[in-house]
Amino acid sequence: MLGAVGLVLIAGGIVAYTLYSRISAPLLAEGQSTHILYIDSDDTPDSVFAKLSDISTESGMKGLRLLASHYDYTVRTGRYVIEPGKTALDVFRQLRNGQQSPVMLTVPEVRTTDRLAGRLSAKLMLDSATIAHALTDPAFCQKLGYDTATIFCLFVPNTYEVYWNISLDGLMQRMQKEHNAFWNEERRHKAEAQGLTPNEVVILASIIDEETANNAEKPVIAGMYLNRLKKGMLLQADPTVKYALGDFTLKRILNKHLEVESPYNTYKYAGLMPGPIRLPSVQAIEAVLNPDHNDYLYMCAKEDFSGTHNFACTLAEHNQNARRYQQALNQRGIR
């Protein structure tokens, strides 16, 4: 009798030891680097384990399947960082509890909705078509307090920590939170001092970013455009014509280009455009809020093609600058 009991206890001990050894086995092979596991809404327990099987030890994989067979496992989407040394039990708990790791999401300075959607979706579970459709949907934009022309004003270029599986509504709520934090009382007062709303600041900043990549020059350009706005002059900004034509590759703006019929053509319509022509940089926004106080009314690209500009207070002086630039274009055969 005692012998039989002893055999049962020994057998039970062997089973318990086997179970323990499996669930405590490291999932990653020795010397293997950290692995990033992405689980999306189409995944099932089987597909999750299939993704792990290629990088897992045999004993670790058996431990995972064993745990899944004994405990309820509902797939939870997310980005999971699996580090060397983690056991099958550690990873199972991580997946079962949805203990994912965040990603660093950069809101980029881009020109189009499609590019913004593409850059965001590259870091998120959301696909680019879903994001792009939302940003061009009047009803969706209206819920956020914008229209399809001004929706870019919601975004502040920066890098944010978010979860990979954030929903579209969650992403927009986060962008609103960051927008409100950026547009604090100080910045709103500065915008008001220039006679602008935050959206109008962003719209003007989008022109400035298209005019120059030189951050030191941006406040000077901001001052010049603000002077024109205050005098009721047409902005006559070449980048707005390129936007209206849908062609930012134009090297030379000709008279025929200035005839394009569009509310974005600042050679035809006074004031600011309906919305930004790109998602501008924080530097350009700050330039509008803290402009150089000058008397300039005109600007023209320098004839040395340095990317900087000659500024003028009078039309006669501007025409001289423009003539030198046109001659330089002709010499280079740029048409």
SS3 state of residue 80: strand
pLDDT band at 12 (very low <50, low <70, confident <90, very high): very low
Rg from Cα positions in the chain: 30
> Which tens digits make up the pLDDT trace of 98-127?
999 999 999 999 999 999 999 999 999 999
State how far the alpha carbon of 200 is from the alpha carbons of 44, 77, 149, in Å.
48, 39, 12
> Which tens digits make up the pLDDT trace of 140-150?
999 999 999 99
Residue holding tokens 């022309």?
149
pLDDT at position 2 over 80: no
> Which tens digits make up the pLDDT trace of 25-50?
777 877 788 899 999 999 999 999 88
Percentages of the chain per state (helix, strand, coil), in multiples of 5: 50, 10, 40
For residue 7, the model assigns a pLDDT of: 34
DSSP-assigned letter for residue 169: H
Query: Directed axis angle between helix 282-289 and helix 218-231, to 10°?
Result: 50
Task: Give the whole-number percent of the chain exceeding pLDDT 90.
Answer: 65
How many angstroms separate the CA atoms of 153 and 138, rounded? Answer: 15
For residue 14, the model assigns a pLDDT of: 38
pLDDT at position 139 over 90: yes
Burial track 306-325 (b if 16+ CB lie within 10 A, e otherwise): eebbbbbeeeebbeebbebb
CA atoms within 13 A on the CB side of 23: 16
